[in-house]
């Protein structure tokens, strides 16, 4: 699968099959994150892989009751370990760097037939306490990782979301791109 195809097929999966993620596949997903670019190649990140069902259950609570986190066999938590470093453009590097790494992992997971769901809705202090993340670090994102439940592209509340991999519900390029000057 090429990258653009993976991008088109990626969906936020909120229902997971009762099937473990093979170690080799997990390692490929993590390797995709490891290879991601970062500001000054600092790689100021740490990824916590959560397999323990009891910990995933608590993680789901810390993520405002997003219970599909406990349904998936794996959760990955992305942390910035140098939150004080600010790029010359004024942006904190950790949010950008961890987000790029997570995007790479999500796309690799898609290629492998695994589902993910980028989560930014969580109680950071609760996640830190649960996982032993040092206070000075920042939790940027969480994703479940597992095989999507049969025939489900995503689930929001009780509503099943099935979207086509054709760019449905995406703005056209002419609305989001301008050339040479912002328009």
pLDDT band at 166 (very low <50, low <70, confident <90, very high): very low
Around Cβ 47, how many Cβ atoms within 10 Å?
Answer: 16
Separation between Cα atoms, residue 103 and residue 76, nearest integer Å: 12
pLDDT digits (tens, 9 = 90+) for 96-154: 999 999 999 999 999 999 999 999 999 999 999 999 999 999 999 999 999 999 765 44
Over the stretch 142-157, which tens digit does the pLDDT of each residue have? 999 999 997 654 444 4
């Amino acid at each position: 699968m090429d990258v653009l195809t993976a991008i088109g097929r990626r969906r936020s999966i909120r229902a997971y099959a009762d099937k473990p993620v093979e170690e080799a596949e997990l390692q490929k997903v993590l390797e995709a994150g490891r290879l991601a670019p970062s500001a000054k190649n600092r790689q100021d990140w740490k990824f916590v892989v959560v397999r323990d069902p009891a910990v995933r259950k608590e993680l789901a609570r810390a993520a405002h009751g997003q219970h599909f986190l406990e349904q998936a066999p794996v959760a990955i938590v992305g942390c910035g370990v140098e939150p004080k470093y600010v790029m010359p453009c004024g942006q904190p590097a950790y949010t950008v760097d961890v987000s790029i790494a997570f995007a790479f992992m999500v796309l690799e997971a898609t290629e492998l037939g695994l589902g993910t769901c980028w989560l930014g809705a969580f109680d950071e202090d609760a996640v830190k306490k649960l996982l032993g993340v040092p206070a000075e670090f920042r939790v940027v994102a969480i994703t479940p990782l597992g095989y999507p439940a049969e025939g489900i592209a995503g689930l929001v509340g009780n509503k099943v979301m099935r979207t086509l991999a054709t760019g449905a519900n995406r703005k056209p390029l002419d609305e989001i791109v301008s050339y040479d000057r912002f328009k």
